[in-house]
Amino acid sequence: MSEENFKVTPWEIEGKVDYQKLIKQFGTSELNKQMLEKLRSKTKSKKLHPFFRRGFIYSHRDFNKILEDIDQNNFFIYTGRGPSGKMHIGHLIPFIISKWFQDEFDCNVYIAMADDEKFVFKDKLSFEEMEKNKKDNFLDISAVGFDTDKTFFFSDMEYIQKLYPVALQFAKRTTFSTAKAVFGFNNDSNLGQFFYPAVQVAPTTFEKKHCLIPAGIDQDPYWRIQRDNAEKLGYKKVVAVHNKLLPPLQGIEGKMSSSTEETAIFLDDDSKTVEKKINKYAFSGGQPTLEEQKKKGGNTEVCVVYSWLEILFEESDEKLEQRKKDCKSGKILCGECKKYLAEKISQTLKKHQEAKIKNSPLVEKYKYSGKLAQKMWK
């Protein structure tokens, strides 16, 4: 682990993440007010998405390059998912913001399903299981509602013929020691793991425009490999905006992960499951007794319930501010906030699950017959 006592790689998070220190560790930059104001002023809606407004998307690489002439539709979006299992609510975040960019700026969106990555990184994952996950994950992503003519879904294994020439170029320029330093590979890492990063960076060259990647900060090591080599290979350096990682139910510092089932909310959870998980596992900033809570108030800074409302489930800034005040003054109790959060999550999931069914015929368009998909297969 680093001297800061936490470690973030695309595959694991150890320790308590300090997001400000992570910016220094990774060498990225903080999104500042001027940049956010510029972005807001260029949107159709003249509004920033709450992820930006509330500092959840907080870091970037070269985002200025896109802001400079964003009016001229000078960028495309690329993001992705590794189909290791079913998706949880944190996984959806980069797709939600990608759709926001598409709505605001009419840009193309490319979505990778990194089946190859999960196969080489997950010891026990079989091809059969991965195929099942892939199908289900594509359906979840289609529920976000992308434009069928401006969006291309592909799986690495199916599209590899087109990705391979670019992947080879990046692979040839990336040494064993760089890969070890950037990704933490060691003598137990397999060959597939060493090559995979070259595949993940290949789609950054799909268009001659700037490629903007909205993704969790855990994915940043890939973009370092891309940025070190892109210009030498005649491509543009990738631009990235990074979201923080939605914490798990049990504490504010970690990352929601599918492997600890009870502390994640999955996109297919029903309202009873949601209620049970929130009541049983959600860490709140409350005091040990009711009297103390009323006297001293709660602590929103460590409260997962408040944090989830802030990140995903309370769209009204006024209501959020009021809740913070009422919590700190001891006017509301943790049980009330948990109930409110559970209702909000259930409403969101119900809408998602309905959209997943309704949009299921669109997956074929995103993959093959939509305008952009057809162009990509030519």
- Distance, in Å, from the CA atom of 65 to the CA atom of 239, rounded to the nearest integer, reads 8
Q: Are 314 and 304 in contact (CB under 8 A)?
A: no
User: Judged by CB, which is closer to ligand TYM: 55, or 328?
Assistant: 55
> What is the DSSP secondary-structure string of 82-144?
--SSS-BGGGGHHHHHHHHHHHHH---EEEEE-HHHHHHH-TT--HHHHHHHHHHHHHHHHTT
User: Judged by CB, which is closer to ligand TYM: 251, or 336?
Assistant: 251
Across the beta sheet with 239-243, the strand order is 29-30, 57-61, 239-243, 210-216, 75-81, 109-113, 151-155
Smallest distance from the beta carbon of 333 to ligand TYM, in angstroms?
Answer: 27
Smallest distance from the beta carbon of 294 to ligand TYM, in angstroms?
Answer: 33
User: Judged by CB, which is closer to ligand TYM: 248, or 285?
Assistant: 248
For residue 336, give the nearest of 306, 363, 361 by alpha carbon: 306
Smallest distance from the beta carbon of 73 to ligand TYM, in angstroms?
Answer: 21
C-alpha distances in angstroms, 168 versus 84, 164, 183? Answer: 25, 6, 18
User: Judged by CB, which is closer to ligand TYM: 105, or 223?
Assistant: 223
**Amino acid occupying residue 249:** L
Smallest distance from the beta carbon of 352 to ligand TYM, in angstroms?
Answer: 15
User: Judged by CB, which is closer to ligand TYM: 137, or 346?
Assistant: 137
Q: Work out the burial of residue 27: count CB atoms within 10 Å of its CB; fewer than 13 is exposed, 13-18 middle, 19 or more buried.
A: exposed
By beta carbon distance, the residue nearest ligand TYM is: 216
Smallest distance from the beta carbon of 80 to ligand TYM, in angstroms?
Answer: 3
Smallest distance from the beta carbon of 112 to ligand TYM, in angstroms?
Answer: 4
For ligand TYM, the binding residues (CB under 6 A) are 10, 78-82, 90-91, 93-94, 112, 114, 117, 200, 213, 215-216, 218-219, 243, 245-246, 255-256
User: Judged by CB, which is closer to ligand TYM: 215, or 342?
Assistant: 215
> What is the DSSP secondary-structure string of 289-302?
SHHHHHHH---GGG
User: Judged by CB, which is closer to ligand TYM: 206, or 340?
Assistant: 206
For residue 237, give the nearest of 58, 29, 105, 62 by alpha carbon: 62
Smallest distance from the beta carbon of 50 to ligand TYM, in angstroms?
Answer: 14
User: CA angle, 231 as apex, 228 and 235 as ends, to 5°?
Assistant: 115
Smallest distance from the beta carbon of 153 to ligand TYM, in angstroms?
Answer: 12
- Distance, in Å, from the CA atom of 47 to the CA atom of 55, rounded to the nearest integer, reads 14
3-state secondary structure at position 33: helix
User: Which tokens belong to 107?
Assistant: 């840009």
SS3 breakdown of the chain: % helix, strand, coil, rounded to 5? 55, 10, 30
User: Judged by CB, which is closer to ligand TYM: 10, or 370?
Assistant: 10
